[in-house]
Structure 1
């Protein structure tokens, strides 16, 4: 039910795959930057386009995307940041592992290398390190998945990053309805309120110069 609510919210945007890519990009960068530098940064336009283009080319389901985001949350919750040097790597490996471990035709690592223009040797190395950092706990049961979707819904409603890390909600808590999509659309960035209790640190993202990903055709604009 929660995934339907989230997807209905995303469907109000054009196009849906691009909106989902931007949403994942923003969420990954917020979690990544908080653990890496202690404050929240915003995703660069290049990274948003990279995520959207990867989702489009890989043809992954929304379930795979949400599970990949859960893997990122687990990784960050354990305080891990050493294995990755940038958010592009983290996004790619989390999405690849989620795709491998769930009900979809499995792509070889070489395919992911072709899609993302990330070196195969780097993908192989980071995949092993990522799975080890999660203590090989890759399976996500139905109850945990449903709870994670509720966390995402709460995060969309409130903009509070802490919503992604709660362990339980009050039994009497009724999630408010989702607001209209804030600022989605061609040429617009996702507008997410500053997380309560955290200082947003907006800085230029130098990963637009990360040459390994420049082979992507980013033609949304």
Structure 2
């Protein structure tokens, strides 16, 4: 049984392209060029890897968990490409028996391998190496994502409600306890605030 009612590549990529900036910045609105580039990137990487919808949902949950733990982080323009790619790598390794190597992820994402390796370790460190997602968390999250997906498909012009990082959302999607580390000392800043990474889609 599918987790999401829609699993075709185009609509999945539309959903991801909408949700990643929504979760990470609190707004799904980007410039037309930036939005189109990220949408094409999502479509290409989902098509190339044939990654499952549960894996995509886990990747989105990792981004949500990171955002909840570090609400003051502000990603730079283009950071959504690196963020989603890294989250997919971790989700693929956590959820799937047959996983892609980082070299393969580098090839399909056009992100240099050494940078992917660094980003993966920084993301893991930011999550305090807690990549396990309890089944209650997962099904609660997938249900919410299905709701957002339905909204997006029914009214594509209107954006899904902004996620507010409050106590209610924390109770609904339980995350790890807040760290006492100061945000500006955390290594995740080295890529979330990195210079603009421009994805160049293939014209073939």
TM > 0.5: yes
Q: TM-score normalised to the size of structure 2?
A: 0.71
Counterpart of 1:167 in 2: which secondary structure? helix
Change (3 A) 1:83 1:155: closer
- Aligned counterpart, 2:163: 162
- The gaps in structure 1 that reach 5 residues or longer are 170-208
Alpha-carbon distance between aligned partners in 2 of 1:125 and 1:116, rounded to the nearest angstrom = 15
Aligned mate of 1:32, from 19, 24, 27: 24
Is the 2:9–2:47 Cα contact (8 Å) retained in structure 1? Answer: yes
Q: Which residue of 1 aligns with 2:36?
A: 45
- Aligned partner of 1:58 in structure 2 is 49
Task: Report the Cα distance in structure 2 between the residues aligned to 1:218 and 1:94, rounded to whole angstroms.
Answer: 26
Give the aligned length: 166
Over the residues paired in the alignment, what is the CA RMSD in angstroms? Answer: 2.6
Residue 67 (structure 1) aligns with: 58
Contact 1:93 / 1:127 at 8 angstroms: preserved in 2? yes
Shift, 1:82, TM fit: 6.7
- Within 2, Cα distance between the matches of 1:46 and 1:142? 33
Q: CA deviation at 1:167?
A: 3.5
Runs of 4+ in 1 over 6 A off after TM superposition: 82-85
On the 8 A contact 2:45/2:109 being kept in 1, the answer is: yes
TM-score, normalised to structure 1, is 0.66
Q: String of CA shifts for 1:14-72, please: whole Å, max 9, x gaps.
A: xx1111011011100112223xxxx5524611100101110110111111011001001
Are 1:22 and 2:14 an aligned pair?
yes
Q: 1:73, CA displacement in angstroms?
A: 0.4
Q: What 5-or-longer segments of structure 2 have no aligned partner?
A: 152-159, 173-195
